[in-house]
Structure 1
Amino acid sequence: MDTSYDTLVDPLERARLLERVHAAVLAGDRLSHEPRPVVFESWRRSLAARIDPDLREPPLAFDSGRIDDVRREHPLARWVPMLRQTLLDAADGTSHVMIITDADGNILWRQGHPQVCRDADRVLLAEGTRWAESTIGTNAMGTTLATGAPVQIHSAEHLVRTYHSWTCAACPVRDPETGALLGAVDLSGPLHTMHPALLALVVAGARLVEGELRWRLAASDDLLRERNAHHLAESGRDAALLSPSGRIVASTPSARFVPGQRIGLDDSGTVRLDDGEDAEVEPLDGGYLLRVGQPRSRRRPQLSLKLLGDEVPAATVDGVRHDLSLRHAEILALLAMNPGGLTAERLALLLHGEQGNPTTVRVEIHRIRNALGPHVVKTRPYRIAADVDSDLHALRETLRHGDAGAAVDRAGLLLPRSESVAIRAERDELVVALRGWVLGSGDPELLWRFAHTDAGRDDLEVLEKARDLMAPDAPQRNVLESRLRLLLEETV
């Protein structure tokens, strides 16, 4: 049996021979020439999927109202201009169209000469249609995705007769991070445009995109190592930095870790390694930290928080002071108030109400951990894992023991610039409790001291009671009278 049609150069002669081969295979007749193995296997898969060779058109996957959103989110979107320049400029753009699909064979982009595009429209070789083998049979885009290898399909090698006047070459594009298919790059045109170099051209275009993706992946790995190398040094046990897909990017010296090895991740916060040992997985900005076994014993950090009053809030860790932004101070205050821990969702609600975004909270926690060290705030749930003392806790304790004098000495509004509902509620509760103790004491000296705090400075009842309890000749009385007059004038 002669199998030499693959060597025919003239595309029209080849197309006529392929028509005879196509008809003979479908009729079950004796073959003078066999289809190429890649084509025969594709026909077999297509027929098993019940594709009708007389099928007129592919199905529509995305209508015009949705395809723009799909394209914006697709990882190949940024490379479309580069592929157009590489493929259409090199392959006579008047006789071909460049097509880019997603991993399911849906055409997301089609560009080329207007006349060729109009010819393509007539056979629904158009954006939004699905060209998987399982929906339209053998074609370069669908077959390259089915096999994971570059392929050229000419004329009657297409199972569906509608496309026997077309020739196409396609190559898959893979994600270098996961190895998953991202889609296919294709050049299609009328059958007389067939040329062996077209396949090499689309392969070069696909490899160019994969090279750019690898470069970006390497840059992302470098950034992950740069930002988080200290986690490995401080872990006290076998540890590794993982990419978002679980690929090992860096690790402590250990025979159990192989660079590039992939760890299966889920939402549990733990994974079981191949050697049977469990490991913790902690989210980082741009990846994960994996830690194996029990850490070496380490002294808990000493954390001191200054959260009351108008001064800049601060956290002191093992004697080192860190000034805090208002947002970080709010988060640390809420964690100190909830020692059992809080989820990102709960923290977002306490900070911002129903408009809170857990993703924003995770970013801020990451920044706090970078500033204060990884052992001060832990995750899953977020919680303070240090020995804490704070002016907020000290004020609470003095009020709990009924020591109004000590409480007044410590008095200061909790993060007075904070608009967090939870912080404001705690702030108001402390003021109400302290004010009640002071008013109930009947001690003019204590009332005088409270009147000089932020909580009591403008409190008419406190000022009036302090004045009334003062001796008539006490110098403080005149100060209180003057302040009362000013406040009453302001309220008129």
Structure 2
Amino acid sequence: MSWSADTWDDGGGPAGEIVERFLSGRLTGQEVRAPILHSWQRCQTAGLTPATFQPRLLEDVDYDNILVRAARPVFDRLRTSVAGTSTSVFLSESSGMHLLRVVGETSLHRALDRVCAVPGFSCAESEIGTNAVGSTLLERRTCQISGNEHFSEKLRDFTAVGEPVRHPLSGHVEGVVCVGAPRERANAEMMAAARRAARAVEQRLFELSTEREQALMRRYLGAPGTRAAIAASRSALRDLCRHDRLALEDAAVNMVAQGRAAVAEIPLSDGRTARLVARPVTDPGEPVGIAVQALLLRR
């Protein structure tokens, strides 16, 4: 079964009432994967129970922010592609609040409304438990949550995949594209669809940035070796645990704030070391930004 996955998990999640056995201390062996167990522990610490389900409706929502403007054309196209299917697609911001929803079969509207999968409601893990939106935001990577892996009873009829949407200039996680379906009708295309949609939203965010920002990004991408370095960084970071990813992101933010070339080595929880390399981006000859590359060193 996959939490951060390059491949689809066909397992459908663990057997029923496994969360309840976890809460009663009767969970044994390797019945669930460590990241799911960690999510359940966070839910327990937050005082959640499988039976309580009270999503928060947020007020004063800006439905015309830059993330929505970037995503709207993408979701307009998705509306056509998911029509008549068992699939639903959501856009949520970095707080976990739903901003956009596209639903396939008309009959799904009522089921989604019952679990407050509606724009304006929050999907933060601390409020509704393990779910593809809130858990993706915490993990900062692809999350597939299948059936009984959901902490809340009300969500266990669904399987969903969350894919982070990162701003192409800052790397900041702006939100999540989530693709879901009734768990008995979930399929591998959901993961591919979530990734395609997230990348399309990221491209739109780039297009909505200023001309100067776009020019700087193109100059950076055009530098010798840059694209290979980006690919290496993505490969290195893909399977790191949440703690390590946060540590690297914090270190990278500090290096950007320093505004100069620098190298830092960060010890990881599995005994490896990550090397962060910061280098200036110039326009032309004038330093105007800092790019940070991450590499994993061999043990």
Same fold (TM over 0.5): yes
Distance 2:207 2:180 in 1: 29
Distance 1:165 1:224 in 2: 46
Contact 1:21–1:32, Cα closer than 8 Å, also in 2: no
Partner residue of 1:22 out of 13, 19, 24: 19
1:100 aligns with 2:130: no
1:40 aligns with 2:27: no
- Counterpart in the other structure of 1:155: 147
Q: Name stretches of at least 5 consecutive residues in structure 2 with no aligned partner.
A: 218-258, 261-279, 293-299
- 1:83-94 to structure 2, matched below 5 A, reads 83-86=75-78, 89-90=80-81, 93-94=84-85
1:31 aligns with 2:28: yes
TM-score by length of 1: 0.41
- 1:330-409 to structure 2, matched below 5 A, reads none
Give the structure with the larger strand fraction.
2
Contact 2:70–2:205, Cα closer than 8 Å, also in 1: no
Q: Which deviations, in whole Å up to 9, do the C-alpha atoms of 1:204-237 show, x marking residues without a partner?
A: 2111221333355484336789xxxxxxxxxxxx
Identity %: 26
Cα 1:222–1:50 shift into 2, 3 Å: closer
- 1:464-483 to structure 2, matched below 5 A, reads none
Contact 2:92–2:177, Cα closer than 8 Å, also in 1: yes
Name the Cα RMSD after superposition. 3.2
Q: Which deviations, in whole Å up to 9, do the C-alpha atoms of 1:118-138 show, x marking residues without a partner?
A: 111112121111111111110
Equivalenced residue count is 227
- Counterpart in the other structure of 1:190: 182
Partner residue of 1:120 out of 112, 115, 136: 112
- Counterpart in the other structure of 1:260: 290
Name the SS for the 1:110 alignment partner. Answer: strand
Q: Which deviations, in whole Å up to 9, do the C-alpha atoms of 1:269-307 show, x marking residues without a partner?
A: xxxxxxxxxxxxxxxxxxxxxxxxxxxxxxxxxxxxxxx
Name the SS for the 1:71 alignment partner. Answer: coil
Name the SS for the 2:192 alignment partner. Answer: helix
Cα 1:212–1:124 shift into 2, 3 Å: closer
Cα 1:28–1:133 shift into 2, 3 Å: same
Cα 1:110–1:223 shift into 2, 3 Å: same
- 1:110-259 to structure 2, matched below 5 A, reads 110-113=101-104, 114-217=106-209, 219-221=211-213, 250-251=282-283, 253=285, 257=287
Name the SS for the 2:63 alignment partner. Answer: helix
TM-score by length of 2: 0.65
Kindly indicate whether structure 1 or structure 2 has the higher relative contact order, using CA contacts under 8 Å at least 6 residues apart: 2
Instruction: Compute the displacement of 1:91 (Å).
Output: 5.0
Contact 1:167–1:194, Cα closer than 8 Å, also in 2: yes
Partner residue of 2:100 out of 90, 109, 134: 109
- Counterpart in the other structure of 2:254: none
Larger C-alpha radius of gyration, 1 or 2?
1
The letter of the residue matching 1:250 is T
Q: Which deviations, in whole Å up to 9, do the C-alpha atoms of 1:189-211 show, x marking residues without a partner?
A: 21112223312220121112213
Q: After the TM superposition, which of the residue ranges 113-122 and 140-149 deviates more from structure 2?
A: 113-122
Instruction: Compute the displacement of 1:85 (Å).
Output: 2.0
- Counterpart in the other structure of 2:47: 50
Contact 1:138–1:159, Cα closer than 8 Å, also in 2: yes
Distance 2:84 2:44 in 1: 34
- Counterpart in the other structure of 1:357: none
Give the structure with the larger helix fraction.
1
Distance 2:197 2:8 in 1: 25
Distance 1:194 1:223 in 2: 41
Q: Which deviations, in whole Å up to 9, do the C-alpha atoms of 1:8-62 show, x marking residues without a partner?
A: 74x7xx45x4314323212211436521222122112222222222112311113
Q: Name stretches of at least 5 consecutive residues in structure 1 with no aligned partner.
A: 226-245, 263-492
